[in-house]
Structure 1
Amino acid sequence: MPSSRISEEITFRKLEALLAFMETGNLAKAAEALEVSTVSVHRALHSLEEGMRCALFRHEGRNLLPTEAAHVLADVARDVLKSMAEGIRETREAAGYSADQLKIGSLYSLTIRTVPQVVIGIKTRRPDLQAELVLGSNADLLYKLKQGAIDAALTGMPEPDPEIESIPLFEDDIFFAAPADSRFARMEAIDLRLCRDEPFVSLGEGFVTSSGFMEAFRIADFTPNIVMKVGDIFSLMNLVGGGIGYTLLPGRVRDMAAGNIALIPLTAEFDMKQTIGLSFLRRRERDPNLLALAAVCRMTRIAR
């Protein structure tokens, strides 16, 4: 056996027992500090001697006294345990586990109300945690989540995935969006089949609102005349307000649409909803930061 190999009898737990004994001076106090039995401490010390292949203690009556070798090993053990604890912390931070920063991905539309509520909630629960926001489409955020570029994502509920845990938060109705002075703005509900010859604007592929948009027109049995696509929902709203075209929008943007855009319900056959949820990797489901984020999101759901 090479001399560099360390005996399997030498473990972190046994080194902790050694330090507890050296610092308290007797087996009973060491056992109390470690919340184990006296017999367990005695066995750990005896096992360390076997692993070291030298005497670490000598008996004087009922007393167990450390040798010079025990003092040397204790000094090394302090450094080893400290280095390992620091290494575990750094490893977890590199993996995003319980780090002091949390990267949250979000759809643009959720920055109006949901994201501010979540950020305030997480700062209340974990004041030292720095939250960073990353915006994008559903597809983009789920890709970044799997790549480890973000810690969690607030998106439309994704398709079932063995790697991802998703918690539904709330449902949002989908509306027909038209300029406030449009003839459609005065209607109680919109039948999309009556809009076959109208111009439309939409989000690019990968956005949950975009996929819902295409599904609605599949039901209406025609391909909409899309005159322009954009990469965020606020630009989309500006195009509608400017009279470039019509679109479909989730109800959560209503506060931003006040004034120059009207959101009109769709008729029953086109009634659609979006389910918004929080997603994170299953392997990180016990991360304290993600547990706190999930708790905040559930409260945000209740508060809506």
Structure 2
Amino acid sequence: MQIDDEITLKKIQIFLAFMRYGNLSKTADEMQVSNVSIHKALHSLESALRCPLFKNEGRNLIPLKSAYVFEEHAQKIVADLVLSVEKTREAAGFAAKVLRLGSLYSLTVKTIPSLISGLKLRRSELDIQLLLSSNQDLVTKLKQTEIDAIIVALNETTASNDFEILPMFQDDIFLAVPKDSKYAQLNEIDLSLLKAETFITLNKGFATHSDSEVVFQKAGFEPKVALQVSDIFTLISMVSSGVGFALLPGRISAVYESSVKLIPLQANFRIQQHIGLVFLKSKERDPNLLALIAECRMFANKFQSHSTSGQ
């Protein structure tokens, strides 16, 4: 059977609204059209179905048995269509009930908990799945749409025309030493004097690994690396135990200042990490991402205000 072109979703929605209210004016208010438009839509639907749905009693339209049958099946049609739209959008990552967020281990000290708390206030029904990994790995997963957004260091790995980027804050790189180290009391360190010392680094792919390479190049030597680890917490533990020194971002000091001492680098060795939100341009209108963007902007503004007031 061929469906008449005059049977449209809009007319079905008008019909269902009228069946709920039994009144042209109330139906017109809900659908935000005129009474005349409601009457025309119902009459057009009857013509397209090639059977009556209502009978006239004075100025009132009284549903026939055919109207109740059509109402039952039309409700299922609309419900199935709404579900189809939702499932399709979820499959594409739009307005899903789950937000897959990627981040660096070091950002879980303060940044990520703050963002997630704010995001849950905006969208309490949202389930947030957090994946912690290296900068390079997270960028790869974002490109492959395995995650929805990442908060990482902005460097050559995030340089892509497919990405939208929201800068959030900058973070200095410090030398991390044990609390009892002979260097612990220094106000700043000349890294070139540490050629004979042993260092611990993160594995390749981590932003801090790349930044450390740049700093060591500035210092003019290849470090003696005793160990490479896959997360910053293990690295801090190793430094605290005296296994070696490391170069670390300042954001970890708020929690780990009792374990290690962070010493500023002399001006000619200084480098900053630029941290920001990265997501695919194709998803920039997704409601979940819009909420995350708003939280990241608030965090960036607070960070900027705090930095300015501290100067």
TM-score between both structures, scaled by the size of structure 2: 0.84
Q: Given the alignment, which residue of 80, 88, 99 partners 2:77?
A: 80
Q: In the alignment, what sits opposite 1:29?
A: 26
Paired AA for residue 286 in structure 1: R
Counterparts of residues 172-211 of structure 1 (less than 5 Å): 172-211=171-210
Structure 2 vs 1, CA of residues 161 and 55 (structure 1 numbering), >3 Å: closer, same or farther?
farther
Displacement, 1:118? 2.0
- Separation in structure 2 between the aligned mates of residue 123 and residue 71 of structure 1, nearest angstrom: 42
Counterparts of residues 1-304 of structure 1 (less than 5 Å): 3=1, 5-56=2-53, 68-157=65-154, 159-304=158-303
- Separation in structure 2 between the aligned mates of residue 131 and residue 30 of structure 1, nearest angstrom: 39
Displacement, 1:213? 1.1
Displacement, 1:70? 3.9
Paired AA for residue 253 in structure 1: I
- Separation in structure 2 between the aligned mates of residue 147 and residue 248 of structure 1, nearest angstrom: 31
* Count of residues paired in the alignment: 301
Displacement, 1:162? 3.2
Residue segments in structure 2 that go unaligned for 5+ positions in a row:
304-311
Deviations 1:192-251 (A, max 9, x none): 333333322211112111111112223334333322211001111122222322221000
Structure 2 vs 1, CA of residues 50 and 206 (structure 1 numbering), >3 Å: closer, same or farther?
farther
SS at match of 2:12: helix
* Farther-moved stretch of structure 1 (121-130 vs 136-145): 121-130
Displacement, 1:170? 1.4
Residue segments in structure 1 that go unaligned for 5+ positions in a row:
none
- Separation in structure 2 between the aligned mates of residue 104 and residue 27 of structure 1, nearest angstrom: 48
- Separation in structure 1 between the aligned mates of residue 120 and residue 223 of structure 2, nearest angstrom: 44
Paired AA for residue 159 in structure 2: P
Paired AA for residue 135 in structure 2: N
- Separation in structure 1 between the aligned mates of residue 34 and residue 160 of structure 2, nearest angstrom: 46
SS at match of 2:184: helix
Paired AA for residue 178 in structure 2: P
- Separation in structure 2 between the aligned mates of residue 52 and residue 215 of structure 1, nearest angstrom: 74
Structure 2 vs 1, CA of residues 52 and 212 (structure 1 numbering), >3 Å: closer, same or farther?
same
Displacement, 1:285? 2.6
- Separation in structure 2 between the aligned mates of residue 133 and residue 31 of structure 1, nearest angstrom: 46
Displacement, 1:127? 3.1
- Separation in structure 2 between the aligned mates of residue 29 and residue 153 of structure 1, nearest angstrom: 47
- Separation in structure 2 between the aligned mates of residue 67 and residue 11 of structure 1, nearest angstrom: 21
- Separation in structure 1 between the aligned mates of residue 144 and residue 45 of structure 2, nearest angstrom: 43
Structure 2 vs 1, CA of residues 268 and 292 (structure 1 numbering), >3 Å: closer, same or farther?
same
* Farther-moved stretch of structure 1 (159-168 vs 40-49): 40-49
- Separation in structure 2 between the aligned mates of residue 9 and residue 162 of structure 1, nearest angstrom: 44
- Separation in structure 2 between the aligned mates of residue 226 and residue 150 of structure 1, nearest angstrom: 33
Displacement, 1:253? 0.9
Paired AA for residue 237 in structure 1: I
* Farther-moved stretch of structure 1 (281-290 vs 248-257): 281-290
